[in-house]
Amino acid sequence: MSGLEVVKPGVLSLLQDCGRYGVALQGLSSGGAMDLHAFGWVNRLLSNHSNAAVVELTMGNASFRASCDVKLALCGAEMAAKVDGLAQPNWQSFILRQGQLLELGYARAGLRAYLAVEGGFQVTETLGSVATVTRNRLGGLRDGLSLQAGDRLPVAKQLLANFHSEVPKAFQGRYPEQLNLSLIESYQAPLFSESAKRAFYQGEYKVKPESDRMGIRLSGPVVSWQHAGLVSEGIAQGAVQIPPDGQPIVLMNDRQTLGGYPKLGCVARLSLNALAQARPGTGIRFVPADLDEQSEKWRSFLRFFEF
């Protein structure tokens, strides 16, 4: 049944889940929610399956109208949500009655908010996932398109249990203007010169406005690469690629599957959740991290959210 109508899709609203897997062999990107922390919580608040489809709002300025009573939750970037003009706090579940309007402003802190409905949005999967990958023209309501005004998002039967849940304060995301990212050195790290690595670790980078779901582009000290080009190889989530201009790009969910630029390693998965919320201009520093330690943290994260 139709549950929520997109009145205004805002800057970019996309249906997402954990992503599409088993498709890289065909050259397709996984897609999926960029910030798995806020994504995990928004489904948790509604006791949804951990892979339930949600709407990822980038930058905000969107609105939705309920076509029937629905139980929703909102997590992630602070977008000053309002229900029929009254403030609706972030990181909580709430009920939107038939005909009521949910409005989100422009993001004030963080970049991406996640809107979930009880039971998850009921959208037909493409190749095993609802994830919208615009550049592959795949997923979402149709052909990888972002949500458009007038789109109707189907929902499951709503139980509407009248208690509201809230993410404990300590776990609510905070989105600072300076981020330290843990970096796991791998790939071509041993081939970069000492001075290139010094520039990389000692410098401060800024998130460029042309960052998107493919990659977070940074500007700052040049990281030089003295060797020839590489044979193209598979690119992991969070890989830090150094193109010929020496300005790092952190490759994210919609990245190309193969690439021939040298890579210093990968941003740790937990740091990627924070990076997904970094607005243009956010200051970035890289800190070398231990693989085993980060792996243990990531396993705890996966266990907690049952991913």
Partner 1 sequence: MTLRFEPVSETHCIVYLSEVIDPSLAVSIAALAKALQAALPSALVEVVPSYTSLLLEFHPLRISRKQLERAVLEQHALLQSGQASGHAQQQTLTLPVYYHSEVGPDLDDLAASSGLAKEQVVEIHSQQVYTVCAIGFAPGFAFLASVDARIAAPRRATPRLQLPAGSVGIAERQTAVYPQQSPGGWQIIGNCPLALFDPKHSPTSPFEVGMQVRFEPVSREQFIELGGQICQDWK
CB of 239 to partner 1, least distance (A): 8
Closest to partner 1 by CB, 137 or 152: 137
Burial label for 101, CB within 10 Å (0-12, 13-18, 19+), is middle
269 binds partner 1, rule: CB under 8 A: yes
Phi, psi of 129 (to 5 degrees): -155, 155
Near partner 1 in 17-36, by CB under 8 A: 21-28, 30
Report the alpha-carbon distance of residue 138 to residue 41 in Å, rounded: 26
Q: How many CA atoms lie within 13 A of 33 on its CB side?
A: 29
Rounded to an integer, what distance in angstroms lies between the CA atom of residue 198 and that of residue 189? Answer: 12
Q: What is the Cα–Cα distance from 163 to 158, expressed in whole angstroms?
A: 14
| CA–CA distance, 260 with 157 (Å, rounded to integer) | 48
Question: Interface with partner 1 by CB under 8 A: which range of 73-81, 99-107, 204-212, 290-298?
Answer: 290-298
User: β-pairing, 233-234 with 258-259?
Assistant: antiparallel
Nearest distance, CB of residue 23 and partner 1, angstroms: 8
Sequence-distant (6+) residues with CB within 8 A of 97 are 66, 69
138 binds partner 1 (CB under 8 A): yes
For partner 1, the closer of residues 1 and 291 by Cβ is 291
Query: Minimal distance in Å, beta carbon 193 to partner 1?
Result: 20
Q: Which stretch binds partner 1 (CB under 8 A): 7-15, 96-104, 220-228, 297-305?
A: 297-305
Contact between 85 and partner 1 by CB under 8 A: the answer reads no
Residue 191 binding partner 1, by CB under 8 A: no
Residue with tokens 């582009």: 217
**What minimum distance in Å lies between the beta carbon of 214 and partner 1?**
13
Asked whether position 258 contacts partner 1 by CB under 8 A, the answer is yes
Which residues sit at the interface with partner 1, rule CB under 8 A? Answer: 21-28, 30, 126-127, 136-138, 184, 186-187, 231-239, 256-258, 265-266, 268-269, 291, 294-295, 298-299, 302-303
